[in-house]
Each structure stands twice: as structure tokens, then as C-alpha cells.
Amino acid sequence: MTEELTPISLFMLQMAENISATARSLDGKEAEAFLNEIISAERIYVAGAGRSGFVAKAFAMRLMHLGFDVYVVGEIVTPAFSNRDTLVAFSGSGETNSIVDICEIVKGLGGKVCLVTASPSSRMETIADRVVNVGDLTGYFQKDKTPFELRQITGKYRSVTSAFAPLGTLFETLALVFSDAVISAIIETQKADIDEMKRRLANVQ
């Protein structure tokens, strides 16, 4: 007799189905342009607010393992940006004020901006050179265009309407899976040496 799935298992399956649907609907040209921008950049900077910031850092870590010159915006050891560099911004809404400001600074310095988002029609979209839209399957960002910082202050960042992937959870999950898939594509296209990647793993922590 098959054991009945728990609510947690059902939510996991629903998330997996959404990841699969996103992968099938992803714009191949957008994704390829994003990949090419990463490969051709002299240096890569990443940025994101809240949980999107964790996704950005996870992407940066894997790029470092691949030997890329990569930095996290806001860290005290991050060097000056140049016009040969590329910023990768992660923002579900595309409206987070602090990240919009960073994108504008990068463009003012002559650099490139790549955006991973759930809201292609946003302030960041108008700035970015490359935009990858992973979709807004729960409709969270379509319903509320308020900037991230204001939602935090007013308490609107807490959801009372839906148990499934509340807030921007699904975007963050999709952004992480997308960025990991980009890493896999780089390994494949660049014939990266996994043993060489292992040698770059942290050994002082």
C-alpha cells in the first residue's frame, strides 16, 4: 500500500512542477544571451536584496569555483567597477530601490547589466542589457509592485493569502535553479575540469 503524501511532499511536488513548467517556457535566446554575457565578461559582480541576495551569492560562489573573477556588491573587499565588467542582478520585482540604484551606477560607468527577474516590465528591465524572465507563476509580483524595502517596513512582505510558495519564494527557487543550470552550461561549453573546481573549494572557514 502506497503511503499517502504529506502536505510538505505535495508542496515539494508542486514546486518541482513549476520549475519544470518554467524550464519549458524559458526564452532560449534570453538564456543564451545571458550565458554569453557571463562567459565574455572581464569581471562579474552580483547583487540582490533579501533572499535574492543569497541566490546571487550562491551564483558568485560557483562562478569562483569555475575560475571567474567575481565579486559581491557591498562586500568590503569588492573592488571598483570598470566598463569591461558585468553586473548580474537578481530581483523578482525589478523595482527594489537599492538594486535599481546599483544598476544605474553600473550603466553610468559603462558596464553591462544582466537581470534575472519575474517582472520583465520594471525599472531594472529598462536599464538591463540582458533580461531573463523566469516568470511569476504565483502572481505575487503582478499583485504588488511595491518596492522590497517598503514591503519590509510596512509588513506587506508577510503573506496571509497563500500557503504555497508565499512572498517571492518561487522566484528565488527558480532563480537559484536557473543560475545553477547556467553553471552547468558553462562547465559543458567550456569543458571545465571538475577536479580544478574542487581545488578552489574553501579550505579556511
Residue 46: all three cell numbers together:
552580483
C-beta of residue 177 within 8 angstroms of C-beta of residue 16: no
Say if residue 146's pLDDT is above 60: no
- Confidence at 152, pLDDT banded by 50, 70, 90: very low
153 DSSP 8-state letter = H
- Domain boundaries, given as residue ranges, for the chain: 28-195
- Confidence at 158, pLDDT banded by 50, 70, 90: very low
Mean pLDDT, rounded, for 111-130:
94
Q: 28-195 falls under which CATH superfamily? A: Glucose-6-phosphate isomerase like protein; domain 1 (3.40.50.10490)
- Confidence at 145, pLDDT banded by 50, 70, 90: low
Q: What is the pLDDT of residues 35-48, one digit of tens each?
A: 999 999 999 999 99
The pLDDT, as a whole number, for residue 4 is 82
Measured distance CA(88)–CA(188) in Å, rounded: 21
Say if residue 154's pLDDT is above 50: no
Looking at the chain, list the stretches that DSSP marks H as alpha helix, in order from N- to C-terminal side.
7-25, 28-40, 51-65, 97-108, 123-127, 140-143, 148-154, 169-190, 194-199
Q: What is the pLDDT of residues 53-90, one digit of tens each?
A: 999 999 999 999 999 999 999 999 999 999 999 999 99
Measured distance CA(200)–CA(38) in Å, rounded: 19
Say if residue 159's pLDDT is above 50: no
The pLDDT, as a whole number, for residue 132 is 96
Measured distance CA(201)–CA(38) in Å, rounded: 21
Mean pLDDT, rounded, for 140-150:
57
Order across the sheet with 70-72: list the strands.
70-72, 44-48, 86-91, 112-117, 130-133
Mean pLDDT, rounded, for 4-25:
87
